[in-house]
């Protein structure tokens, strides 16, 4: 069994990105600028946005955090998105989800200029992904593709079972793994809450991607010997023995599943760190796509 170490892989990518920034400076080019919009004080969102901004600082990107009260109206948020769309100094931006209930997330996603949509959530970018056209890939699936590449894992002709059909992870990942490119060319089964005989299906998988947010859901009896397992779950579980009062758990019963795998991502330190560097790679790409 080999660990798919997202921590060390993302560190290597951050170094590559720092070098790209240095090269841009030498060439007299603009430094990438990422803006993150956070609405309200959701604990998870605060942590994620904080690490995104910190990573920008580490690699030499410019970054701005715009933190709004959860009382902001939908109109005010849409106006802010419009401002960012038109700000020449902003190369890419994200609006952290979830948003408060009185704001329609779809409206906000649609309002973002696809050329600055480094989250890759806009239908234009999702369409480009399906058609294999240039655009932004959603960060978490893109981070997983990067792990396949960096560990040179064969995906062609393999049976890939994706568990969970979220718009952010499961659905795009199922499309990417089936595309005619590497990593891809897999035979993909997308499973979800209505799937019958889930265990039988997952047992046939050469590659398992679990993205449902249910701690310990994927147990050893569901995994074929030699499978590759990617765990996208990051659920907070109360734990008084921890300084923060919680620990992070993945979807996979790691202790019992890992010995059966050829490769597996740990949680934390697997897919999570890759998501953040993918966002940074997208921001650099935004400059290139926009001819800066
Ligand atoms: N909420 C959970 N994951 C994400 C993400 O990748 N981007 C944004 N904007 N919000 C999220």
Which domain-ending residue is among 113, 131, 153?
113
* Interatomic CA distance for residues 109 and 94, integer angstroms: 9
The alpha carbon of 139 and the centre of ligand 1 are apart by a number of angstroms equal to 9
- Determine whether the shortest distance from the Cβ of 97 to ligand 1 is under 6 A: yes
Residue 19 annotated as catalytic: no
Section 73-92 average pLDDT: 98
Which letter does DSSP use for residue 284 in this model?
A: H
The reported pLDDT for the residue numbered 35 is 98
**What is the DSSP code (8-state) at residue 168?**
T
Average pLDDT, the chain: 97
CA of 22 to the centre of ligand 1 (A): 28
How far does the centroid of ligand 1 lie from the alpha carbon of residue 27, in Å?
Answer: 33
Residues 109 and 233 in one domain: no
Measured in angstroms, how far is the CA atom of residue 276 from the centroid of ligand 1? 10
Domain that holds residue 201: 139-272
Say if 251 falls within a structural domain.
yes
- For ligand 1, is residue 81 a contact (CB within 6 Å)? no
User: For the purposes of burial, counting CB atoms within 10 Å of the CB of 2, is it exposed (0-12), middle (13-18) or buried (19 or more)?
Assistant: exposed
The pTM for the full model equals 0.95
User: Ligand 1, closest atom to CA 94?
Assistant: 9
Report helix, strand or coil for 91: coil
Annotated active-site residue in 5, 14, 91, 96: 96
Q: Name the residue at shortest CA distance from atom 1 of ligand 1.
A: 97
CATH number of the CATH domain containing 203: 3.40.50.720
Active site residue 158: no
- Can you tell me the distance from the alpha carbon of 287 to that of 290, in angstroms, rounded to the nearest whole number? 5
- Pair 238, 156 in one domain: yes
Report the pLDDT value the prediction gives residue 289, as an integer from 0 to 100.
82
With a cut of 90, say whether residue 16 has pLDDT above it. yes
- CA-closest residue to ligand 1 atom 8: 96
DSSP 8-state assignment for residue 58:
H
Q: How far is the C-alpha of 229 from the C-alpha of 5, rounded, in Å?
A: 12
Q: Tell me which H or E stretch contains 200.
A: helix 198-203
Q: Which helix (H) or strand (E) holds 43?
A: helix 43-59
pLDDT of residue 134: 93
Residue 73 — pLDDT band, cuts 50, 70, 90? very high
> Does 171 share its domain with 90?
no
In this prediction, residues 43-61 reach a mean pLDDT of 94
Quote the number of domains for the chain: 2
The answer to the question of residue 98 being in a domain is yes
The answer to whether 132 is a known catalytic residue is no
Q: What is the pLDDT of residue 44?
A: 87
Ligand 1 test: best mutation among 37, 77, 119, 172, most atoms within 8 Å of CB? 119
Whether residues 103 and 147 fall in one domain: no
- Both tokens of 64, joined, read 């701005």
Q: Give CA separation, 206 vs 87, 119, 260, in Å.
A: 46, 28, 12
Residues 93 and 157 reside in one and the same domain: no
Give domain status of residue 291, yes or no.
Answer: no
Q: What is the Å distance from ligand 1's center to 172 Cα?
A: 14
172 and 252 within one domain: yes
Does the N-terminal peptide bond of residue 98 adopt cis geometry, omega within 30 degrees of 0? yes
Mark whether 39 and 101 lie in a shared domain: yes
Residue nearest ligand 1's atom 11 by CA = 97
């Amino acid at each position: 069994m080999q660990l798919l170490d997202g921590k060390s892989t993302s560190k290597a990518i951050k170094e590559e990105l720092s070098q790209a920034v240095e090269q841009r400076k030498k060439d007299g080019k603009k430094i990438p600028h990422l803006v993150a919009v956070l609405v309200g004080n959701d604990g998870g969102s605060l942590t994620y946005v904080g690490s995104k901004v910190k990573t920008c600082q580490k690699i030499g990107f410019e970054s701005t955090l715009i933190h709004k009260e959860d009382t902001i109206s939908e109109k005010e948020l849409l106006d802010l998105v419009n401002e960012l769309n038109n700000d020449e100094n902003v190369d890419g931006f994200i609006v952290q989800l979830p948003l408060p209930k009185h704001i329609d997330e779809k409206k906000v996603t649609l309002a973002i200029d696809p050329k600055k949509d480094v989250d890759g959530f806009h239908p234009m970018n999702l369409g480009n992904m399906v058609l294999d056209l240039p655009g932004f890939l959603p960060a978490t699936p893109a981070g997983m593709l990067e792990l396949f590449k960096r560990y040179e894992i064969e995906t062609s002709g393999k049976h890939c079972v994706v568990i969970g059909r979220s718009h952010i992870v499961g659905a795009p990942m199922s499309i990417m793994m089936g595309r005619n490119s590497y990593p891809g060319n897999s035979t993909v089964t997308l499973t979800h809450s209505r799937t019958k005989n889930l265990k039988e299906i997952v047992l046939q998988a050469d590659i398992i991607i679990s993205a449902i947010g249910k701690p310990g859901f994927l147990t050893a009896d569901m995994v074929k010997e030699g499978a590759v397992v990617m765990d996208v779950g990051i659920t907070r579980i109360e734990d008084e023995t921890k300084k923060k009062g919680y620990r992070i758990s993945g979807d996979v019963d790691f202790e019992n599943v890992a010995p059966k795998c050829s490769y597996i991502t740990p949680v934390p330190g697997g897919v999570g760190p890759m998501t953040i560097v993918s966002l940074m790679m997208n921001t650099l790409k935004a400059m290139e796509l926009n001819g800066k």
